[in-house]
Amino acid sequence: MSTIRLIPVLALTLCAGLMAQTKPRARDLGVPFDGKPGPFNAITDVKGVEVGHTTLISGEGKPGVVAGVVRTGVTAVLPRGKDPTDQVFAGWFTLNGNGEMTGTTAVEDLGFLDGPVMITNTHSVGVVRDAVIQWRVKKAPADEEGYFWSLPVVAETWDGDLNDANGFHVKPEHAIHAIESAHGGAVEEGNVGGGTGMICNEFKGGIGTSSRVLDAKFGGYTVGVLVQCNYGWRNQLRIAGVPVGREITDHTVRNDDVGSIIVVVATDAPLIPTQLKRVARRVALGLGRNGSFSGDGSGDIFIAFSTANPGAGLTKGVRELKMLPNEQLNPVFLATVQATEEAVINAMVAAETMTGVNGRTVIALPHDRLREVLKKYNRLEK
């Protein structure tokens, strides 16, 4: 069970895996993509990686009403499941810095990701960060002298166009629930978790994921990507190379490239931090395929980690590591670009029309019209 969805009067707990399997994804609509996905076409195709959401939806979005209209949540990505003690090598990159990802100075200097990657809304970064520390203390208590420290990685995108962002509706228990309910397998996408109130290319956005499996001759490694997308200008949107945003022009909401996107890349390829930073940079090329130019008001921040080299973060003894030569990174780079491109479109396909604060409605990407446009440009796969 991975989602708490708060609806007026009634609170329901939903099974994310079941919901993820009942919604169509971009490939189901005939959108063509390059590369071979893993069995779930998700970041969880990287062994050991788990994803959990807490989704908060309550209040009615009537004109003039902001306070109490809740369209927000938290998403957790756990590199090694619920074991908080085994760090992973990591690297991060900011394409445009109008946003926040805590803990990245430690990632930059030390080369390790310590614990989960959390994603929420802009004004909930602090409470989520503190909640992760509480969870870590419980899972891995301080030593006999009381020594303990943690620098959680918590990222954000702004959901104030649909959510009462200044209502501070995300609480510590919501962050902890996202972590504790995380699971492998199919990942729920669209209006869930931190992506609940997000907008992408002026359609409803949110959480999306995808993966690629490298050919055996390149090691057979898996690269998985998860995005929380809240960026983009409709008239720049391209899907499978087709100018979809110029073909579907109604119900725009921003008319500019504003907002943000957080991207998490996971792989089981044995990479060290400098290589993972290079991988994180390649996310930008995947976003570019979909038409992003990373506008001035956008926080486009990416983190990549490798689940290889378990125990590398232990504090005693000499560690023996494995790593790919730099000359063998091209397939990993390409897989990152391809999976990023598809993860964004999966988020938009899964998202549903939502009405939020002030009665503002953001429409979902219409599946039938998307297929019509792809067919017009001879890009419909089926």
Catalytic residue numbers, as ranges: 260, 298, 300
Distance CA 174, CA 272 (A): 33
Dig out the tokens for 101 from the structure.
């990802």
Distance CA 371, CA 324 (A): 40
